[in-house]
Structure 1
């Protein structure tokens, strides 16, 4: 198995939403608008079928259609990572084979959920996936949804797996992030990416390699600029951009269910911008009409902040080779 050329990964990797038609099929024209929007802003990779992409809730047919379309539209311009999280390890392996055929560059794996597993079983699952997947594997720590954390000692136990790429951490726990960084320092080819976008700059300051930020679907240039400013140590610019991130984060407080509020907010903002419909996969509803004006106000607020005077910034950060 050959690893992607741009290893270790560095930069902003948006977790793409999955645009849906009223019949809950893939809306390919909307997906093309979205991908061209984020690539035009200079993002460094794409993450398909993650949490923001509603991956575990989509039918297998729509999952595969999303991957095939994303790879075709991207056409090798940036690496495409695909979430293969499932309650069934066998299905994760099967999907990894299908997405390899579609042209993906790597798969992303969170612990199987529903039946709790211990850390020893998790190591066994990762080793089996790594052995049977035709693509390299990035681990995904999302304990709020999977109900099991990938503990630092488990990361250490997996340091000898040659086709693992590193970790995406969406725990929001900076103490855990520091521990993971300490382990990953022993594998210089591994990447440590942060999920919570409000912590992007702070995680970079403690050794993070970038972010998988849901808001980068909406304002991808904001997160590319923040990554550049944080890696370049341009403190004033980080503070200016952080205000925009915080304003955007107001979207995620509109929904009543914290588990899906980010997805609802991101899709509602994309609908406001004319990129795709706000629809989520059943049975989860989109934000209701009472939030329409709030969504528009928040989007306008970020745009207004972007028009404020810009401090000198760094440029050109990308993946390391």
Structure 2
């Protein structure tokens, strides 16, 4: 697929108050992100709770995002799973729905060796027949794709890029330096605090959760970084730093998605329900998020 420079959005998954998929909210979110200037849509990642949903629900979410996007932006569908078979099934369904690529972390639960990780990605590219982004999130998978392994992965036909959520600045720098001349292997970062370093080292951009809520902030921040406009970069980064306060308002690991959903509820885009048994957002948390959003708007 064509290289994306800029912001890819790891989309939240809107739900109704009955915990069903909210297609009206999802369509509004897709339109909002496209209007905000984002470069790609990434449903069913960590922010979207991908593996937390059933296989059928994941396929339904992907079909809806592809339908609502209608070719306006590339859709990079998350297919991470503990089961390689399920990753392949999700990838084939994504291909049929019109996704441009899939994003896959190594299978979790059983810790793979380096050679097994390489075989897993070869299996995906061969079976799905769609470009595959490598997703490094050791906090979830317990497998950290170190720079030496990543350089081997980059040589596999069909592997088209890398999303790093390790939050390891030293490893990121090693990867960027080693692959800086490989234009067909774009590198994106998940941690928003590392996007400046990534872009400065000729990385492709960010996979930024906060762009669900403030797409224009992240897009303008990326452009200022790319263009070397330090004054503008610092202004947008101050907004991004403030947005990140939303991620810790709700308790629990799912606090990022809950915070973003609550912000989107306040913007009138979708509700903020999360899938049980996750704790639902409280009115007190909603008011704290409203206060943070007012701070962002004032910067």
- What is the TM-score normalised by the length of structure 2? 0.97
Partner of 2:277: 283
Q: 1:274 Cα deviation (Å)? A: 1.3
Unpaired segments ≥5 residues, structure 2: none
Give the match's secondary structure for 1:190: coil
Task: Deviation per CA, 1:187-213: give whole Å up to 9, x if none.
Answer: 320110010123222321122210110
Give the alignment partner of residue 64 of structure 1, picking from 40, 48, 59. 59
Alignment match of 1:17 (pick from 9, 12, 19):
12
Q: CA deviation at 1:288?
A: 2.0
1:269 aligns with 2:263: yes
Contact 2:10 2:47 in 1 (8 A): yes
Aligned to 1:52: 47
Summarize the alignment of residues 250-261 of structure 1 with structure 2, pairs less than 5 Å apart. 250-257=245-252, 259-261=253-255
Aligned residues: 299
Distance 1:24 1:239 in 2: 39
- The aligned counterpart of 1:295 is 289
Match of residue 242 from structure 2: 247
SS in 1 for 2:221: helix
Is the 1:71–1:104 Cα contact (8 Å) retained in structure 2? yes
Q: Is 2:96 aligned against 1:106?
A: no
Matched-pair contact (CA < 8 Å) for 2:44–2:51: yes
Q: 1:311 corresponds to which residue?
A: none
Q: Is the 8 A contact 2:190 2:208 kept in 1?
A: yes
C-alpha change, 1:31 and 1:84, in structure 2 (3 Å) is same
Q: CA deviation at 1:186?
A: 5.0
Secondary structure, aligned partner of 1:100: helix
Greater Cα shift, 142-151 or 183-192: 183-192
The aligned counterpart of 1:312 is: none
Are 2:215 and 1:220 equivalent residues in the alignment? yes
Shift of 1:123: 1.0
Structure 2 Cα separation of the partners of residues 182 and 133 of structure 1: 30
CA RMSD in angstroms, aligned pairs only:
1.2
Q: RCO (CA 8 Å, sep 6+): is it higher in 1 or 2?
A: 1
Structure 2 residue aligned with 1:149, among 130, 144, 149? 144
Q: Secondary structure at the match of 1:14?
A: strand
Deviation at 1:273, TM superposition (A): 1.1
CA distance in 2, matches of 1:183, 1:284: 41
Bigger shift: residues 64-73 or 15-24:
15-24
Match of 1:187 among 182, 185, 188: 182
Unaligned runs of 5+ in 1: 306-321
Q: Deviation at 1:129?
A: 0.8
The alpha carbon displacement at 1:114 in A equals 1.2
Q: Aligned to 2:90, which of 88, 95, 98?
A: 95
CA distance in 1, matches of 2:4, 2:157: 16
